[in-house]
Structure formats: C-alpha cells, structure tokens
Amino acid sequence: MIDMLAAPEAEADDLTASALLAALRDRKAVEDRAAADQLDLAARWADLHPPESIHLAAAFTTPGSEHEEPIAGEGCPLVAEFCVAELGAVLGISSTAAKKLIGHALELRHRLPRLWAQVQSGAVPAWRARLVAETTIHAVPTLTREAAGWVDDQVAAVAKRVGTAQLDRLVAETIKRFDLASADPASDPEDGYLHVDPRHVTVHDRDVHYAGTIHLEAELDLADALDLDHALAHDAAAQKSLGSTESLNVRRAKALGNLARTQTGLDLFHTQGSTSAATITSEDRDGLPAAREIVLHAHFDATLTAEGTVFGPTGRMENRNKLLLLDQIRSWCGDSRTKVTIKPVIDLNQNLTAPGYDIPARIREQVILRDNTCVFPHCTRPARACDIDHVTPYDHHAAAEDRQQPGPTQSDNLACLCRYHHRLKTHTSWRYAMVAPGVFEWTSPHGHRFRRDHTGTTPIHPLEPERP
C-alpha cells in the first residue's frame, strides 16, 4: 500500500527532473552557439580595425601613439592596438582578455580553418577550440602557417575530446616534423655544459601561499649545494637543541632565512670596516644593521576602544593582493634584525594639492591607496605599477599666458592608469571624469559609458548616441 501511494509522487519528481535536464541541455546549446557567434564577431571587429585605420586617422605618429600589433600566429592579419580596449569594456572583461579573444578568433579563422568550421557548425564547443588556438599561438618555437595547418588536420578528427596533454604531444611532434626547433648547444653530452650554464636561483614571488610562504627553486654548483646542505642541517640541529618541536623540513626552511639575514648583516657590518673581528663586543653584535628590510603595504581595519586601537584579525597585503593575518605580521616583525617602518595614515578623502606638474610623494601615495588598481574599466593592474595621470590634462603654458590652470596637480584631478590605458586615454577619444573621490565615469569612442569605483566596473545606461 505504501509503495502504491508513493508511486505517483515519484513519477511527478521524475518528470520535473527530466524537464530540468532538458532545460539545462537547451541552455547549454544556446551558450555554445553564443560563444561561437562571439568568436565570429570578434574576428569581424578585428577586420574593422586593420593597421590602415591608424594611418587614416593621423598623417604622422607621436611617441606612445597607437601601433599595429600581431595578436595571433604567422599568417593572421595585424590589428590596430587600441581596438581591443572597447571590445573588452563592452564584454565586461579586461583589455588583456579581449586581446586573447580576438587573437583566438583570428588564429582559428586563418590558421585552423577546419576547427573554425566545426565551431561555427556547432560540432565543437568554442572553449575547446580556443584551447587549441592558445596552444598554437604560443608554441615555442613558433609554428609556421603550414605547421599550424598540420595541427588543424590532426585535431579536426578528435576535437571533441582533445586535452592539453594530447595537444602538447601533438605540438611537439609538429615541431619535430617541420624541423622548427633550433639546435640546443647543451644537448651535446661532451661539451654542451660549456655553452649553457644551468645554474640559477628563482624565487616565485607571484605565487604566495595563503600561509605566507613562496616557492624557491635553484640549481647550484655541486660544492656550493653540499655546503648549503651542511649549513642548513647544522642550523636545523641547533634549533632542535634549543627546544624547537617543528619538523625537519620546517627547521631547514627557517635555517635558510636565518642564513640570509645573518650573512647579510655580517657582510654589511664588516664592509663598513668600523670594527675588526677581534674587537667585536656583545654590544657591537647587537649593533649589526638590519638584515631583513622588506617593504609590505598591509591594510587592516581598526577600531578605537577604551583600551586603545584594536586591529582586525585579517587584512589585505597590497603586494600580490593576498589575504593577510595579523599574527603573520607580528611574527615577521618579531625578529630582532627586522627593520619595521610605520607610515602615517593618509586621509584618502582629503584633496591634496601641489604647484606645478610634478606629483609629490605624499599625493602619489594617496592616489595609489585610493585607487588600488588602474581605474580603466575592468583593468586589475596594481596601482603601484601604474602611471599617475592628470584626468584633465595639465597645461604647461597656462602660467606663462596668465591663464587659470585647467588640469591642476591635486587629488581630485589625478588617477592611476596602467601604461597601456594611459596611452589609450592620451591618443584616442576615450574620455573620463572623476565624479567623487575614487569614482570615475568613462565614455568609449562609440558612446558606451562605464562607472568605475572600488567595487569594480558597471555599465551606465542609457548609452550616449554613437558619434559619427
């Protein structure tokens, strides 16, 4: 009886689930079709902006102005450099991502035509074809048009299931088949080492672990490596004898840091020649210069209480834009040979001014902290790697001609722009204005408008009418 009563409900659930799956399948088909159309439209956008469009706009070029740029492989047409920015802004992606989209579209249409046809017919999803295009564009050494065509022929039969590992093997085979690789002088077992020295030390500081660690990779001379291993083992043993309960790997990692800091301090101290080794006292040792002097820009929320200023447990490390724990800062600063510099708090809403064109350090720091990144729509380039731009251009002749300065050097007329978008603003009809501290409104050459603030970029509607 219970089974009989439950059957209609189970049947209804099955129908609902089936309907959901059918809807998801339909939506996925629409998504794949839209992605294929987007590739086609991106290629057409490139067609509208050939290198000739630059020369038609100006009879001469100036430093920093637009130039033609190859964004796909050999045999693909060049495009006008600045055309990618407006496409990216309209799509809600960065200029770098827009450049990659156009490059993939041109690579597929001109060098991988069979795969391009499969994408446009719906047989292969666009994302998988773009994976192939990314591989052929950035293959090392560069693939010729004939070599890319051979890859296209091989991939066309298995495009629906091709993966990165298979692509890598296929490109390697292509390079060998078309004899594209240059001779490797280090491949000779007899004297190859005389041509290429493999020694290096690489600190991967762009990949910071959430625990505040980074990866270090090195290849050393045999004697140097053995000496380093001995020094690390000695320091790790010393840490254990002093009561450390951490693992051997952790103690060796700490030993490497201790070696760097101590040796740097001793080198600096003895280079000054102020004290001989025989006369160093305990006070002299304590007077060694700081060996750890790392510049970190950390931002923490703080509140004022009866007991004083209380910092939040987590913050943001401006370097690499990583989450940071307050305890990590305390541990880094706890070393006796760490130099700590506290900078004064800067009011980001205060309108600082300066005479002349040059931007003083305090105003520059305020603008960097206020903007955080390049303020162009969807750009994420860190502000410290950007130029400081006068939103309204500074007139260098205003004072001599007894006119009011239209673009003064003050906080409400300054913004962070990466070099690419700084050039774009200077040499094209893109324009922007600061409507509030750190809030910018941009207008593209075709009248699309965007609002950029600390939360990101949002489109402004309705659009301005397109200018002729």
Phi, psi of 304, deg, nearest 5:
-95, 125
CA 187, 192, 195, 198 torsion-angle sign: positive
CB half-sphere exposure, 279, CA atoms < 13 A: 5
What pLDDT, on a 0 to 100 scale, did the predictor assign at position 368?
94
pLDDT in tens, the chain (468 residues): 445 455 544 454 556 888 888 999 999 999 999 999 999 999 999 999 998 888 654 445 567 788 888 899 999 999 999 999 999 999 999 999 999 999 999 999 999 999 999 999 999 999 999 999 999 999 989 999 999 999 999 998 888 888 888 888 999 899 999 988 776 555 555 555 555 677 888 888 767 776 778 888 888 877 788 888 888 998 899 898 989 999 999 899 988 888 877 655 445 445 444 444 444 343 444 455 555 555 566 666 666 667 766 666 666 666 545 566 667 666 666 655 566 666 666 777 889 999 999 999 999 999 999 999 999 999 999 999 999 999 999 999 998 999 999 999 999 999 999 999 999 999 999 999 999 999 999 999 999 999 999 899 999 986 654 554
What pLDDT, on a 0 to 100 scale, did the predictor assign at position 202?
86
What is the Cα–Cα distance from 62 to 51, expressed in whole angstroms? 16
What pLDDT, on a 0 to 100 scale, did the predictor assign at position 332?
65
What pLDDT, on a 0 to 100 scale, did the predictor assign at position 280?
39
What pLDDT, on a 0 to 100 scale, did the predictor assign at position 285?
45
What is the Cα–Cα distance from 415 to 436, expressed in whole angstroms? 12
pTM value is: 0.72
What is the Cα–Cα distance from 55 to 8, expressed in whole angstroms? 72
CA 96, 97, 100, 101 torsion-angle sign: negative
Phi, psi of 346, deg, nearest 5:
-110, 130
What pLDDT, on a 0 to 100 scale, did the predictor assign at position 269?
47
* Segment 204-208 long-range contacts (CB within 8 Å, at least 24 positions apart): 205/320, 206/320, 208/317, 208/320, 208/322
Which residue do the tokens 């009866």 mark? 306
List, as one string, the DSSP characters of 71-111: -SSTTSPPEETTHHHHHHHHHTS-HHHHHHHHHHHHHHHHH
The residue count of the chain comes to 468
